[in-house]
Structure 1
Amino acid sequence: MLGSGSVSAFLGFDIGSKALKGVTTPDSRPTTKFSSAKTGSSQHGGTLLKEEEILKIVKARIEGKTRTKSEKIEEEDEEIATNKQKQKPQEEIKEKPQEGFPVTAESGGVNFSVQSARYSGGALQLRVNMQNKGKDSVRFLYSFLDITDNKGRTLSGSTDGLPSELPANGPTFSGTVSIPTALLDDVKSISLSITDYPAQKLKLEVSDIPVGK
């Protein structure tokens, strides 16, 4: 019996050893894992970048984007400057006085001038300036404004923006006088005349205002 038991134990040990052959316990050491991972990545063609290299790449990308934005801003500024230079001659042309203007009149320290004339919205629009350089204020009633053409015919019109009273030593006031285009078919020039109200001590008359189309 002892011999049979010994033989059975030996056979059981031998069978168990063969069954566990090639089986190993997991390696839980962090150093070993890191080495294995690094070796594995190298075997698959991967590359681990150092922290300094990563920072250099990120910095280069940020600088590249910033440089691109700066270049775009500089290009936009150059375009704006170029456009301004192109627009300057046009602005100078607009500010240049219209031929035949201004047409002015003065009475009692009050200046009355027609600065320009243009057709718009079915009417001739005269841009008018008025200024009182006298010591006393002056009142006007623009319904008494007389408009005549070069043939002596009376024309109707309306005013907009002109003050009913000009203060003494006051600033320049601007407004418009509008005359329907239908009344100006064969008219070459017109005249404007107005007096103060109610005193009627001064008379402002602007003649030969060109209105040719």
Structure 2
Amino acid sequence: MKLNSTVLLTLILLTLMLGAGSVSAILGFDIGSKALKGVTTPDARPATKFASSKANSMQHGGVTLLREEEILKVVKSRIEGKSKASKLDKSQDDEEEEKAKKEKEVEKAKEAQEKPQPGFPISAESQGVNLAVQSAQISGGDLVLKVKMQNKGTDTAQFLYSFLDVTDDKGRTLSASTEGLPTELPSNSPVFSGTISIPTPLLEDVKRVSLVLTDYPAQKMHLEVANIPVGK
């Protein structure tokens, strides 16, 4: 009887010990899990670290690294752009310089044309119509007389230049051709310009020539420009 009570007491003590151990283990596991919550294992792989650090730097700094080829392309394009701009500026400067040069040449030519030849103009007037010889110069195998005509009268004047009479200082008739002279001069007309050309072989011993022009068909006007010096 005494032995049975001892065995029973031993079994009860073992059960209590096992129960207490289980409870302690469960409580310890729960406390440890809560304590280690949020703790991660370090990543020992270099590639992963590099990728992670690169991602972090891109997120925080926004720095982008260019390859050497791209840098060289950018530098080359900028140099070429500056070179083209320089060439364009130089071309524009050359064009402006050439334009200014041409304008000066035109001005000089105008001044030469406007400057009267010594002894000129020689003019004649009849019934309001004026005929003036501005100059006489040898050009291209001809004696070229530059002529201006104007009608200040109230009636229209008509001319036929085949009736133009050209004579030398010995009274000989010379052949001549006209260019640019009007066949009709209206009343109060502007100034018209043209030329009368005489072949130089006809002027070997000639010092002066004279012009006589009449209107056609009325022939009321008599425009005579005499003693025009022949420049040689």
Q: TM-score, normalised by structure 2?
A: 0.60
Pick one of 144, 159, 162 that aligns with 1:125: 144
Partner of 2:211: 192
Q: Percent identity?
A: 55
Corresponding residue pairs, total: 170
Q: Alpha carbons of 1:66 and 1:212: their partners in 2 closer, same or farther (altered >3 Å)? A: closer
**Rounded Cα–Cα distance in structure 2 between residues aligned with 1:202 and 1:82:** 47
**Rounded Cα–Cα distance in structure 2 between residues aligned with 1:123 and 1:112:** 21
Asked if 1:173 is matched to 2:192, the reply is yes
* Residues 187 and 212, structure 1, Cα contact 8 Å, conserved in 2: no
Partner of 2:82: 64
Note the C-alpha offset of 1:137: 0.6
| Unaligned stretches of 5+ residues in structure 2 | 1-46, 52-65
Q: Alpha carbons of 1:48 and 1:202: their partners in 2 closer, same or farther (altered >3 Å)? A: closer
Pick one of 85, 95, 115 that aligns with 2:134: 115
Q: SS state of the match for residue 224, structure 2?
A: strand
Select the structure of larger CA radius of gyration. 2
Per residue, is there more helix in 1 or in 2?
A: 2
Superposed CA offset, 1:121-165 (max 9, x none): 332221222111111111222222221222333222222332222
Q: TM-score, normalised by structure 1?
A: 0.65
| Unaligned stretches of 5+ residues in structure 1 | 1-30, 36-46
Superposed CA offset, 1:44-77 (max 9, x none): xxx94497x5686256325422442244235414
* Residues 136 and 231, structure 2, Cα contact 8 Å, conserved in 1: no
**Rounded Cα–Cα distance in structure 2 between residues aligned with 1:164 and 1:81:** 38
Partner of 1:15: none
